[in-house]
Every structure is written in structure tokens, then in C-alpha cells.
Amino acid sequence: MEGILPLWKERGMTSHDCVFKLRKILKTKKIGHTGTLDPDVDGVLPICIGRATKVVEYMMETGKAYVGEITIGFSTTTEDKSGEVVDSLPVTEVPSNDAIDQMMQDMTGNIIQIPPMYSAIKVNGRKLYEYARAGEEVERPKREVAVHRFVRTSEPVMNNEQQTVSWTFEVDCGKGTYVRTLAVDFGEKLGYPAHMSDLTRVKSGTFSVKDCLTLDQVAELMQEEMIEDRLYPLEYALGDMDTKEMTEELWEKVKNGAVLPIETFSKEVSFPVVLMYQGRARSIYGEHPTKPDLLKPIKVLRTSA
């Protein structure tokens, strides 16, 4: 079995839980997910199966889109609704739409984020959430992320009992963006502690909600021996790269991992390049690290039919 399965991850499960269950359902061990979704978050989670696991890293580079909710008035340890309250400030007046919209606009483009303590980022060989669970503080590395679009999609609503204000949003962003942190940083700009009170991923790379199957649907299709009809070829993960169809002569060299002269390709080709044979991706070639006139294989995808 080989291909990409756009899975609808349900709430209450980790991404690893999904992989564990799919290994049992699909009766194969070679499965990997393409980007962690927190247990409280549902949405699009592309899963790579068989040889498609070789393109996980390229799928993780793709853009993501989310719909969610920001609540100002208190912040939490995890930056979402599942954490313990660490700071609060009653909201006595609903911010204006113009103020919210302008601040959200100001947070688009390339911005700097500090990852949350409850995240899988590694510092000194340990994941940040491991430090957090042990009650340890550690300096977190700043990182630049890309936020392409960040817009309010509802009127802000006051919760008089909790003295908070919430509104929904949509965000399109690049890899590595923590939407939880966007919510917290937004609140800080507005002068309030804040957290992300709801989140759903609606797009990952080329896959959207309409493409997804639930775990139950996958199990049904597996029983009916129809699941392979719903898998996407691994080429879907390589759509942003240039491609080059090989001759049989070049294929004989590439399938043995040969280093190639850069003049093998026209100047219109940018690297890395996906080398195709008989319509299927076979290998990804890139510039040689020490020999500028040569190209070397950086990822071998298929060496046989």
C-alpha cells in the first residue's frame, strides 16, 4: 500500500494516536503523519503510507489554513482552553471591530514568534512540553513564521459572567506557525491576557475538508477493499517543485543513484528537481554541496516500477 490519505482528525486524539490506529486498520507499519495537531484541535491531517512516507518532510513545508476563536480576558499555561489559568484581567468594554481588524492586519507577513512551552519544539535535546510538565523553565528560541491572512469572521461577543470577549477568525499561514501563540500575542497587543478557545484545521497543503476521511470511514473502505481508490499518489506532495521527465538512458543512471552533470538540465529548471519516469516521481535531485557543476540525489523515491 502506498499513497497519501487525507484524514479528518477528531478531537480528543493526538496525531500519534491516529497513526497507531491506522497501522491496525490498514495492517501496515509504514505510516507517518505530516504535522502535529493538538488533542483539542480537529481537522485535516494528511497521512503518508508506504513509500509516500519519504515525502513527509515536503508535506510539512506546505501552508495551512485554520478557523478558530480568540478569547481575551485570561491566558492559560497551554495557550488554549485546556490549560490552567495563569493570568486574568476582566474585560469591561468590547474592543471595536476597527481596532481588532487593524491589529490582526498588523500581525500578517513575516513575524517573530516564541513557541509555547507546551509544544514539541526541542531545546537541548528535550521537547519543551517535557520541561513544562516537570515545572522547569527554559529559554525558548524565537522563530520567524509567515502569516498570509488573519481576519475576524464574527462580531466580538461579551461573556458577562466570565468578563471575557470572544470572536472567530480565519488564518492562512506557513509551516511552524503556532496559532495558539497568535491568539496570545494578539491579546498582548490589545492589553489583555488571551488564549485560543477553539481551532480547526481546514486545509493542509493541497488537501481540504472535502478530501478527508474519518477513521471509521477508512475502516469501512478497508473492509470493502476500496481504500486504495481513496489514496492520493505521493506526487501530490511535490507540486511546488520543478519536474523533469527522464529518458530511459537517464533513468538507468538515476535508479543507481548516479551523480549528474548540472548541464543535464536546461537553465529553466530550478533545483531541487523531481525526476519522473513513465509519469511517476523517481528521485529528487539537488545541487552538490561541494561540487557546483554536479547534482546529487537528495531523496530516492522509487527504484522500480
What's the confidence (pLDDT) of residue 119? 67
Question: Backbone phi, then psi, for 51, in 5-degree steps?
Answer: -65, -20
Which of 178, 65, 163, 155 lies closest to 101 in space, CA to CA?
A: 155
Report the predicted TM-score, pTM, of the whole model to 2 decimal places: 0.90
Residues 183 and 97 in one domain: yes
Residues 194 and 266 in one domain: no
Residues 183 and 225 in one domain: no
Inside any domain, residue 21: yes
What's the confidence (pLDDT) of residue 305? 63
Query: How many angstroms separate the CA atoms of 276 and 281, rounded?
Result: 4
Cα dist. 6→170, 187, 225 in Å? 21, 33, 18
Peptide bond into 46 cis (omega under 30): no
What's the confidence (pLDDT) of residue 102? 96
* Cβ–Cβ under 8 Å, residues 297 and 264: no
* Cβ–Cβ under 8 Å, residues 168 and 56: no
What's the confidence (pLDDT) of residue 79? 92
Q: Which three cell numbers stand for residue 299?
A: 531523496
Query: Domain of 256?
Result: 241-300
What's the confidence (pLDDT) of residue 136? 80
Residues 103 and 179 in one domain: yes
The dihedral formed by the CA atoms of 25, 30, 36 and 40, expressed in degrees to the nearest 10: 10
Query: How many angstroms separate the CA atoms of 292 and 134, rounded?
Result: 48
Q: Which three cell numbers stand for residue 57?
A: 518532510
Residues 293 and 225 in one domain: no
Residues 102 and 146 in one domain: yes
Residues designated catalytic? 38
Cβ-in-10-Å burial (0-12, 13-18, 19+) of 77 comes to: middle
Residues of the chain with pLDDT under 50: none
Q: Which three cell numbers stand for residue 163?
A: 468578563
- Overall domain count for the chain: 3
Inside any domain, residue 176: yes
Inside any domain, residue 305: no
Place of cell 481513496: 230
Q: Where does 212-302 have alpha helices with state H?
A: 215-223, 248-254
What's the confidence (pLDDT) of residue 140? 77
CATH number for the domain harbouring residue 290: 2.30.130.10
Residues 139 and 68 in one domain: yes
Inside any domain, residue 293: yes
What's the confidence (pLDDT) of residue 292? 87
The DSSP 8-state label assigned to residue 54 in this structure reads: G
Query: How many angstroms separate the CA atoms of 46 and 38, rounded?
Result: 15
Residues 145 and 74 in one domain: yes
* Cβ–Cβ under 8 Å, residues 235 and 266: no
Cβ-in-10-Å burial (0-12, 13-18, 19+) of 79 comes to: buried
What's the confidence (pLDDT) of residue 104? 97
CATH number for the domain harbouring residue 8: 3.30.2350.10
Query: How many angstroms separate the CA atoms of 35 and 47, rounded?
Result: 9
What's the confidence (pLDDT) of residue 224? 96
* Cβ–Cβ under 8 Å, residues 170 and 153: yes
Radius of gyration of the chain from Cα atoms? 23
Inside any domain, residue 258: yes
Residues 50 and 153 in one domain: no
Coil, strand or helix: which one is 285?
A: strand
Query: Positive or negative, the Cα torsion across 150, 151, 154, 159?
Result: positive
Place of cell 500578517: 108
Inside any domain, residue 280: yes
